[in-house]
Structure 1
Amino acid sequence: MVRKTQLSNGIRIVTEKMPGVHSVSTGIWVNLGSRDEEPHEQGITHFIEHMLFKGTAQRSALDIAKALDAVGGFANAFTSKENLCVHAKVLDTHLDLVVDVLMDIFLHSLFAEEEIEKERQVVVQEINMIEDSPEDLVHILFQQHFWKDHPLGAPIYGTPESVLALNRSKIMDFLGRRLAPQAVLVAAAGNVDHEAFVDLVAPHVAFLNHTRQPPRRQPPQMFPHYTLLPKDLEQVHICLGFPGCSHGDPQRFACHVVNVVLGNSMSSRLFQEVREKRALAYSIYSFVNSHEDTGLMGVYAAVAPEDVTETLDVITAEMDAVRRDAITASELSAAREYLKGSMYLNAESTDARMNRLAKNEFVFGRHVPLEEVEEAIDAVTVEDVRAWFAQHYQPENTAVMLLGPVESGAHGMAAA
Structure 2
Amino acid sequence: MAVEVSRLANGMTVATETLPGVESVALGVWVKSGARNERDDEHGIAHLLEHMAFKGTSSRSAFDIAAQIENVGGEINAATSVETTSFYARVLADDVPLAVDLLADILQDSTFDPEELQREQHVILQEIGAAHDTPDDVVFDRFTETAFRHQALGRSILGTPETVKSFTSQQLHAFMERQYGGERMVVVAAGDVKHDAFVREVEKKLGTFRAKSDSTIPQYAHYVGGDFREGRDLMDAQIVLGFEGRAYHVRDFYASQVLSMILGGGMSSRLFQEVREKRGLCYSIYAFHWGFSDTGIFGVHAATGEGDIRKLLPVIAQELHRTSESIGQEELDRARAQYRAGLIMSAESPASRASQIARQLLLFGRPVGRDELMERLNALTVERLTDLSSRLFSTRPTLAAVGPIGSLPAYDNVVDALPGAHNGLRRAAS
Percentage identity across paired residues of the two chains: 36
Q: Aligned in 2, Cα 1:385/1:303: closer, same or farther, shift over 3 Å?
A: same
The answer to which of 24-33 and 13-22 deviates more is 13-22
What count of residue pairs does the alignment treat as equivalent? 412
Q: Who is 2:330 aligned against?
A: 330
The superposition leaves residues 185-213 of structure 1 with CA deviations (integer Å, 9 ceiling, x where unpaired) of 11111111111011111122233235334
Q: Indicate yes or no: 2:112 matched with 1:111.
A: yes
Q: Who is 1:282 aligned against?
A: 283
The superposition leaves residues 234-271 of structure 1 with CA deviations (integer Å, 9 ceiling, x where unpaired) of 21211110011222222222111111110111111111
Report the secondary structure of 2:283's partner residue. strand
TM-score, normalising length: structure 2:
0.93
TM-score, normalising length: structure 1:
0.96
The answer to which of 43-52 and 378-387 deviates more is 378-387
Cα pair 1:145 1:153 within 8 Å, conserved: yes
Q: Within 2, Cα distance between the matches of 1:337 and 1:229? A: 39
When the two chains are superposed, the root-mean-square deviation of aligned CA atoms in Å is 1.4
Q: Within 2, Cα distance between the matches of 1:256 and 1:211? A: 34
Cα pair 1:81 1:156 within 8 Å, conserved: yes
For residues 208-247 of structure 1, the aligned pairs below 5 Å read 208-247=209-248
Cα pair 1:147 1:153 within 8 Å, conserved: yes
Q: Who is 1:271 aligned against?
A: 272
Q: Within 2, Cα distance between the matches of 1:210 and 1:338? A: 40
Letter in 2 for 1:183: R
Letter in 2 for 1:365: G
Report the secondary structure of 1:281's partner residue. coil
Cα pair 2:146 2:227 within 8 Å, conserved: no
Q: Indicate yes or no: 2:401 matched with 1:383.
A: no
Q: Who is 2:133 aligned against?
A: 132
Cα pair 1:309 1:413 within 8 Å, conserved: no
Q: Who is 1:372 aligned against?
A: 372
Q: Within 2, Cα distance between the matches of 1:104 and 1:327? A: 53
Cα pair 1:33 1:84 within 8 Å, conserved: yes
Q: Indicate yes or no: 2:191 matched with 1:190.
A: yes
Cα pair 2:14 2:186 within 8 Å, conserved: yes
Letter in 1 for 2:245: G
Report the secondary structure of 1:110's partner residue. coil
Q: Who is 1:393 aligned against?
A: 393
Q: Who is 2:423 aligned against?
A: none
For residues 238-257 of structure 1, the aligned pairs below 5 Å read 238-257=239-258
Cα pair 1:30 1:183 within 8 Å, conserved: yes
- Shift in Å at residue 414 of structure 1? 4.7
Unaligned runs of 5+ in 1: none
For residues 151-162 of structure 1, the aligned pairs below 5 Å read 151-162=152-163
Cα pair 2:12 2:211 within 8 Å, conserved: no
- Shift in Å at residue 178 of structure 1? 2.0
Q: Who is 2:403 aligned against?
A: 404
Q: Who is 1:170 aligned against?
A: 171
Unaligned runs of 5+ in 2: 414-430
Q: Who is 1:69 aligned against?
A: 70
Q: Aligned in 2, Cα 1:217/1:415: closer, same or farther, shift over 3 Å?
A: closer
Cα pair 1:179 1:214 within 8 Å, conserved: no
